[in-house]
């Protein structure tokens, strides 16, 4: 097999610039941000490293074949040209097909049937993706297995658990200086605080899970063990104060349990506090949070309660958080402006299917938070 592979690193739309920066910091060149992720050419150790170390990616897929097919015969000819024994592990496969109406092969069910016929495998865990776009077929293998935001530490979750990858993206987008405190006043099950602690301590987010590529014929266990030892050697013990606060006692308890599973239990202070009772460290740092959206606030007041919450949150921060940086994730209709803080949207993305923005700024002055460079996304080939 080749020493390098064409890969597509998938991300939630809007996070592509952050993912590109992360991939490039792992030494991957060339790489370019496109709609929905990053295209790159990887060595095998780089493929493993992205799965192990990426905090933002959803998954990594390897493109094993591209060919033209204007009918089922040419589709099967193209598929049979692939040396599947060099790619597929023993066991079954799951075929995932996407087509478009401009292709002659527009019926996804019929395409899936032909792919399964060529592969001749039972239903199993390895995902084979087949994409047909204007008669151009791209065949890819999922190298990750479970989505990469499944870190392996998630236990008790709040009412609306935040994906680990989105929490990490929020922390990274905020421009947090890892030498300074970080506070999440609406911590839920603690995802933001845990991801921040792992960032500060340089812990590889995928260290406690397995990946699909470990079952591939190309996998080299000795090289993988060296990569793991290198990741373990990068971990530092020093961590700034990280406070996870919430008014719900059950949420606070889940923070402690999740943090312990993630190996950062000693790095996070979990406390039951309302916004009005929020206590900040003396040294200024970052407030990074995913406050309630309109659809998550129940009770008789509804939207009024939400407006009151943001009024109060803004008043508390104006009174107690001069010199602090703020980064908040909010839905498009969330009344962030009622906080009367110098916040501006720096990233637009999705959370649980909702359009959301990261609003960031410095209390007591404008600016102070780095804005990631925006890529010009195009559709992946």
Domains of the chain listed by start with CATH number:
4-142 (3.30.2130.30), 164-201+237-362 (3.40.50.150)
Of the candidates 368, 316, 319, 320, the one whose C-alpha atom is nearest the C-alpha of residue 342 is: 368
CA distance 316 to 100: 52
In angstroms, the CA 74 to CA 209 distance is: 39
- How high is the pLDDT of residue 300? 46
Judged against a pLDDT cut of 80, whether residue 8 lies above it is answered with yes
Q: What is the layout of strands, in order, in the sheet containing 136-142?
A: 31-34, 37-43, 4-10, 59-68, 136-142, 126-133, 93-99
355: which residues sit within 8 A by CB, 6+ positions away? 331, 332, 348
In the DSSP assignment, the letter for residue 124 is: -
DSSP label at residue 307:
H
Please state the rounded mean pLDDT for residues 81-102: 92
DSSP character at residue 37? E
pLDDT tens, position by position, 149-179: 999 898 755 455 799 999 999 999 999 999 9
Mean pLDDT of 84-93: 92
Does 243 score more than 50 pLDDT? yes
319-371 pLDDT, tens digit each: 999 999 999 999 999 999 999 999 999 999 999 889 999 999 999 844 333 33
Using the predicted structure, report yes or no on whether residue 211 has a pLDDT greater than 90: yes
**CA neighbor of 118 nearest in space, from 133, 128, 103:** 128
Reading the block at residue 374, the tokens are 């925006």
Q: For residues 137 and 114, is the Cβ–Cβ distance under 8 A? A: no
Distance CA 197, CA 194 (A): 5
Angle of helix 191-200 relative to helix 164-174, nearest 10 degrees, comes to: 60
Q: For residues 25-50, give the mean pLDDT.
A: 96
CA–CA dist 264, 239 (Å, integer) = 9
pLDDT at 377: 41
Tens digits of residue pLDDT in 292-331 = 987 544 444 456 689 999 999 999 999 999 999 999 999 9
**End-to-end CA gap in the chain:** 23
Partnered with residue 64 across adjacent β-strands are none
Q: Nearest CA to 359 among 371, 374, 377, 350?
A: 371
Assessment of whether the complete model's pTM goes beyond 0.85:
yes
């Amino acid at each position: 097999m080749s020493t390098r592979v064409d890969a597509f690193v998938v991300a939630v739309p809007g996070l592509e610039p952050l993912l590109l920066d992360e991939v490039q910091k792992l030494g991957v060149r060339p790489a370019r941000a496109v709609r929905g992720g990053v295209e790159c050419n990887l060595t095998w150790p780089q493929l493993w490293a992205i799965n192990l170390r990426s905090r933002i990616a959803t998954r990594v897929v390897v493109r094993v074949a591209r060919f033209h097919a204007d009918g089922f015969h040419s589709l099967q000819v193209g598929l049979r040209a692939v040396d599947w024994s060099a790619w597929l592990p023993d066991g079954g496969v799951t075929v995932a097909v996407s087509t478009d109406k401009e292709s002659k092969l527009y019926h996804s069910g019929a395409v899936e049937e032909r792919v399964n016929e060529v592969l001749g495998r039972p239903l199993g865990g390895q995902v084979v993706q087949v994409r047909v776009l204007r008669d151009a077929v791209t065949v890819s293998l999922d190298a990750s297995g479970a989505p990469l935001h499944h870190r392996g530490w998630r236990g008790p979750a709040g009412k609306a658990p935040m994906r680990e990858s989105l929490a990490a993206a929020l922390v990274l987008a905020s421009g947090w200086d890892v030498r300074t405190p970080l506070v999440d006043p609406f911590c839920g099950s603690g995802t933001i605080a845990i991801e921040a602690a792992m960032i500060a301590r340089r812990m590889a987010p995928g260290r406690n899970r397995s990946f699909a590529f470990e079952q591939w014929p190309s996998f080299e266990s000795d090289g993988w063990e060296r990569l793991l030892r290198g990741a373990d050697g990068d971990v530092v013990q020093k961590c700034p104060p990280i406070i996870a606060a919430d008014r719900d006692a059950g949420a606070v308890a889940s923070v402690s349990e999740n943090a312990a599973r993630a190996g950062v239990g000693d790095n996070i202070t979990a406390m039951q506090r309302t916004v009005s009772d929020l206590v900040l460290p003396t040294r200024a740092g970052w407030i990074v949070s995913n406050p309630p959206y309109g659809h998550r606030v129940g009770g008789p007041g509804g939207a009024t309660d939400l407006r009151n919450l943001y009024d109060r949150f803004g008043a508390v921060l104006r009174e107690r958080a001069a010199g602090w940086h703020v980064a908040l994730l909010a839905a498009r209709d969330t009344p962030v402006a009622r906080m009367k803080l110098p916040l501006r949207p720096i990233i637009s993305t999705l959370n649980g299917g909702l359009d959301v923005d990261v609003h960031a700024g410095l209390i007591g002055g404008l600016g102070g938070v780095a804005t990631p460079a925006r890529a010009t996304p195009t559709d992946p080939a």
